[in-house]
Amino acid sequence: MMGTGTIASEHIVAAIRASGHNPRWVVSSSKKYAKHFSEDMSILNASTDARRALEDPLVRFVYVSAARQRRKHYIVAAATAKKHVLCDWPISDRSRVASSLVAECEKAGVTLAVYQPLRSSTIHQTMRRLLLEGEIGALQSILIIRAAPFQPHPNRRTDHAMPGDILLNASLEDIDLARFLTGREPVEVTSLPSEAAGDPRQQTAYAIRMTGNVVFQAYESFSTTELESVVMLAGDHGALIAHSTLNNKGLGTLVRRTATRSELIPVRERDPHHTMIKGFLSSIHCPSEWVCLGKDNVVALKAVEAIVAAQKKRRTIIF
């Protein structure tokens, strides 16, 4: 465990143990934080030196939950030690840095996976399966709407609190979700300049033309009251519509719409943290269809950078 900031890391500890593994080390730039986390989570060893943990022959993989600016340091150290890596989303806030980390891990022959919680959602995985099975015909478009005041990920400490940036805290996830659900890649990006209270980081609207002439449209805002999120896949024979799957408030619902009929799709809830750990461990040995890898994070970051360029230049950006 490298980094002790987010509450999510506590859930990951339980998920690792539920998967038959045992966390052996806590590493933090703060000796005090490492000690407190190891005691709280009943982890035997704590250190400020990543090399000590990585030299342990019983350590097979690393979970990085450090502050974003520290993730590069830990990922490079793990790759050098030939340890597989699961990192909090995103691995960096710049595509160039993320690309270098992917290359570093590929060179070392280790897996670099990213914990993208939207991919772990049972509803989103069901949507992807139904689309592939032809339940709504040929895909035409995907629509994502989410709006709620910004809520940072819960932290064990308050010193990592940062103002919300809609592109890094919402658009990045949604672009990756669109790629995961559809299997399509961005081709060109158009963005509408949109400011909320004079701050462009609080609201955005954009459209991305994807391969196969699929259109992805998104509206994301931290400046409105909370709205029920919508993820919709529209095909020529129907649509799949997920409600409240992006608000971190439970499972949500999935509806299949065909002609004038709406059908609620029953979906069984499961623990997303345990699902992610199991998927990550499986991906080390066999490629996974749904686990988010470092290279997926790179594509999403490049798309976000294209949105920024489209806003500044007020024109379509070829991806």
Instruction: Produce one character per residue of 164-176: b if its CB has 16 or more CB atoms within 10 Å, e if not.
Output: bbbbbbbbbbbbb
Residue 201: what pLDDT?
81
Residues 241, 234: Cα–Cα separation, whole Å:
8
Q: What is the pLDDT of residues 103-159, one digit of tens each?
A: 999 999 999 999 998 999 999 999 999 999 999 999 999 999 999 888 766 665 554
- Tell me the pLDDT of the chain averaged across its residues: 91
Residue 156: what pLDDT?
58
- Tokens (6 digits) for 103: 């290359």
Residue 247: what pLDDT?
80
∠ CA 37-39-42 to the nearest 5 degrees? 105
Q: Can 8-115 and 118-269+291-318 be said to share one CATH topology?
A: no
Residue 160: what pLDDT?
47
Residue 202: what pLDDT?
87
User: Which residues, in sequence order, are CB contacts of 58 under 8 Å at separation 6+?
Assistant: 24
- Assigned CATH topology for domain 8-115: Rossmann fold (3.40.50)
Residues 14, 5: Cα–Cα separation, whole Å:
16
| CA-wise closest residue to 150 among 254, 47, 221, 238 | 221
Residues 80, 63: Cα–Cα separation, whole Å:
15
Domain ranges of the chain: 8-115, 118-269+291-318
What does DSSP assign to residue 169?
I
Residue 190 in this model has a pLDDT that exceeds 50:
yes
Higher-pLDDT residue of 157 and 230 is 230
Residue 180 in this model has a pLDDT that exceeds 60:
yes
Do 246 and 118 contact (CB within 8 A), yes or no?
A: yes
Residues 242, 245: Cα–Cα separation, whole Å:
7
- Tokens (6 digits) for 299: 């594509």
Residue 10: what pLDDT?
76
Residues 264, 258: Cα–Cα separation, whole Å:
12
- Tokens (6 digits) for 100: 């270098």
Residue 6 in this model has a pLDDT that exceeds 70:
no
Pairing of the two strands 253-258 and 112-115: unpaired
Q: Quick one: which H or E segment has residue 231?
A: strand 230-235
Q: What is the pLDDT of residues 246-284, one digit of tens each?
A: 987 778 999 999 988 999 999 988 888 899 999 999 999
Facing residues of 293 across strands?
113
- Write the burial class of residue 314 (CB in 10 Å: 0-12 exposed, 13-18 middle, 19+ buried): exposed
Residues 134, 174: Cα–Cα separation, whole Å:
23
Q: What is the pLDDT of residues 69-106, one digit of tens each?
A: 999 999 999 999 999 999 999 999 999 999 999 999 99
Helices (H) and strands (E) in the chain, counts: 11, 15
Q: What is the arithmetic mean of pLDDT over 152-176? A: 75
Facing residues of 116 across strands?
none
Residue 163 in this model has a pLDDT that exceeds 60:
no
Q: Could you tell me which CATH class the domain 118-269+291-318 is placed in?
A: alpha beta
Q: Quick one: what percent of the chain has pLDDT higher than 90?
A: 76
